[in-house]
Structure 1
């Protein structure tokens, strides 16, 4: 097990927040955004790839996305991946291009998206707690090796907890802002 490294824990917790912000960008708020398809992965060439590695995504109009698939054999898998992603989008296939009209958000769909934002936030909170656990485990290991005294370990555990608390506050703020944006309040 690696020795306690506060900078590494900070980096990993910041990564959890960045991943959440990236996921939240993909949630639709009624306008076309190329980030909307970021969470979509396509089963091609025997593996799962992000859609951006098999196609170019653009927003030619405020309420339309265009997905230009590079290899025509991947049009079907890309279409299937978008339909099954739970984004409420139904692609119109036009050769190697898929057009995705962005429908108006119904109240029910807004609630679903807000719930999805909550799931993303919970996943980020879990990631932050896992980083905390890893940090505390390495502190205990270091204490057993004689690197830290018990008092030093406890002081470092308090630092790790403060870092975790601050990260969770940041996660909650990002999720609340997105929920407000989605629900239009």
Structure 2
């Protein structure tokens, strides 16, 4: 029973780490990457879809994303969707290709982004601590119902704490790497 609780807690903590990784990837650094446009949606045949489903995304160079619409009449809609997103990007059409250059980040903007990244990391830590709390509550309930011994419960709580420490250390590593990436010029 306690092993099941630990496995469930570990999978939930792993999912929290994955969500944090996705959220950190959305924070824009000075370098271009196609994942930056994942949250930008455009109207395509009456439905709102991500740009990646209406066009092919490529990296032209380290600071420019190339967007080639699957249909020529979509170019202006995609360009407008990227411009209207709150990413601060200014796309430009060059024939059938839409070029999306990444503007240089100012020192002040970098510091603001670091605050955002630290907030995301703290949300990840809180999520992991909530999983720990739920797992410990479950173990305590098993102990109260006399389904496990006190020693098993204590060992189970210690194992959950070790998992928590491991995942929080992983979050700290991810945060340090993202901060270093943001401060690189």
Q: What is the TM-score with the length of structure 2 in the denominator? A: 0.76
- Give the CA deviation at 1:74: 9.5
Take 1:141 and 1:81, find their aligned partners in 2: how far apart are those partners?
51
Residues 113 and 151 of structure 1: CA distance in aligned 2, closer, same or farther (over 3 Å):
same
Take 1:176 and 1:77, find their aligned partners in 2: how far apart are those partners?
34
Q: Which residue of 1 aligns with 2:85?
A: 84
Gaps (5+ residues) in structure 2?
none
Do the aligned partners of 2:41 and 2:50 also contact (CA within 8 Å) in 1?
yes
Pairing 1:75-154 to 2, within 5 Å after superposition: 76=77, 79-80=80-81, 83-85=84-86, 87-92=87-92, 98-154=98-154
- Give the CA deviation at 1:4: 4.3
- Give the CA deviation at 1:102: 0.7
Partner SS state of residue 99, structure 2: strand
Q: Which moved more, 1:170-179 or 1:95-104?
A: 95-104
Q: Which moved more, 1:5-14 or 1:16-25?
A: 16-25
Residues 60 and 117 of structure 1: CA distance in aligned 2, closer, same or farther (over 3 Å):
same
Take 1:89 and 1:77, find their aligned partners in 2: how far apart are those partners?
12
Residues 25 and 143 of structure 1: CA distance in aligned 2, closer, same or farther (over 3 Å):
same
Q: Which residue of 2 aligns with 1:178?
A: 178
Q: Which residue of 1 aligns with 2:6?
A: 6
Gaps (5+ residues) in structure 1?
none
What CA deviation, in whole Å up to 9, does each residue of 1:44-101 have, x standing for no partner? Answer: 589875543444322122221123445756964784466434x322233578854311
Do the aligned partners of 1:136 and 1:157 also contact (CA within 8 Å) in 2?
yes
Q: Which residue of 2 aligns with 1:42?
A: 41
Structure index of larger Rg = 2
RMSD: 3.3
Q: What is the TM-score with the length of structure 1 in the denominator? A: 0.76
Take 2:53 and 2:32, find their aligned partners in 1: how far apart are those partners?
20
Residues 65 and 77 of structure 1: CA distance in aligned 2, closer, same or farther (over 3 Å):
closer
